[in-house]
Structure 1
Amino acid sequence: MAAFLSGCDEAVFATVLEGCGLTKSTLSKSVYALEEVGYLTVRKGRHERLPRTWLSLITEGRTSLARHLDALRQIADQAASRAVTAALCARPGPVAKAAGAGRPPRGRPAAARHR
């Protein structure tokens, strides 16, 4: 939801709901939590005589999202680096053939065993 809201100044609750594929309950709980920590503002009003709720990710929320995404990028880069190192250090050894590999199963077929 924060990533969705980071792409605009503010969005209508229903637009965020549809855009993020969340339930009303999940979005409402997330909005409450982010508003409580000071990352999001909620504005209520009317548009064409219909009640509307607008959500806006404020500076603190945008900064927190950017830090979170940077941390995720760092984790992903470290994992990729480890994978490359592991691949370079891996020594192929003889592949042991699994017992019975390549042979047909013994006895009757599984379907026939339960009759």
Structure 2
Amino acid sequence: MSTPSGFDELIHPSTRLSVVALLAATEWADFPFIRDSLSLSDSALSKQLHTLEEAGYLEIRKEGGGRKRRTKVRLTSRGRTAFEGHVAALRAIVEGAGPTATPTSPTEPAAKAATGERHQHHAEAGR
């Protein structure tokens, strides 16, 4: 199976996908909100944000100073486009697997009937 158009290897790892999905639902998000929402450590989140920023998918803005310093993050238009393309590619993969995901459906009633017959047979044998 070939990889669908739009599939993004950079976004695909679950932590990065979670970060981008969270940011796609908002304009700006504070670092602690992202960290706590995704149950990540500061260092783990920082690493993922840096990777996404280097790719041009995020903008990181630091405001204030000292103890009041806040880090805010948002998806860039490039990041939003990449996320939307990746989601579309994932949907294509899932939808493409749909018809072959239920090969047992046609035989399911037969399996139930066979099981029922066995149970019935064992019940009669015990009388």
TM-score scaled by structure 1? 0.70
- Bigger fraction of residues in strand: 1
- Bigger fraction of residues in helix: 2
Q: Give 1:44 shift.
A: 0.4
Q: State the match for 2:97 in structure 1.
A: 79
Using CA pairs under 8 Å that are at least 6 residues apart, name the structure with larger relative contact order, 1 or 2. 2
Unaligned stretches of 5+ in structure 1?
96-115
Q: Give the alignment partner of residue 28 of structure 1, picking from 46, 71, 76.
A: 46
* Matching of residue 59 in structure 1 with residue 57 in structure 2: no
Q: Give 1:19 shift.
A: 1.2
TM-score scaled by structure 2? 0.64
Q: Give 1:12 shift.
A: 0.7
* Matching of residue 16 in structure 1 with residue 34 in structure 2: yes
Percent identical pairs in the alignment equals 33
- Describe the superposition over 1:51-99 as per-residue Cα deviations: whole angstroms up to 9, x where unpaired: 0000011111011111111111111112222123x2356596889xxxx
Q: 1:93-112 residue pairs with structure 2 within 5 A?
A: none
Unaligned stretches of 5+ in structure 2?
1-18, 116-127
Q: Answer with 1 or 2: which has the greater Rg.
A: 1
Q: Pairwise CA RMSD of aligned residues?
A: 2.2
Q: Give 1:45 shift.
A: 0.9
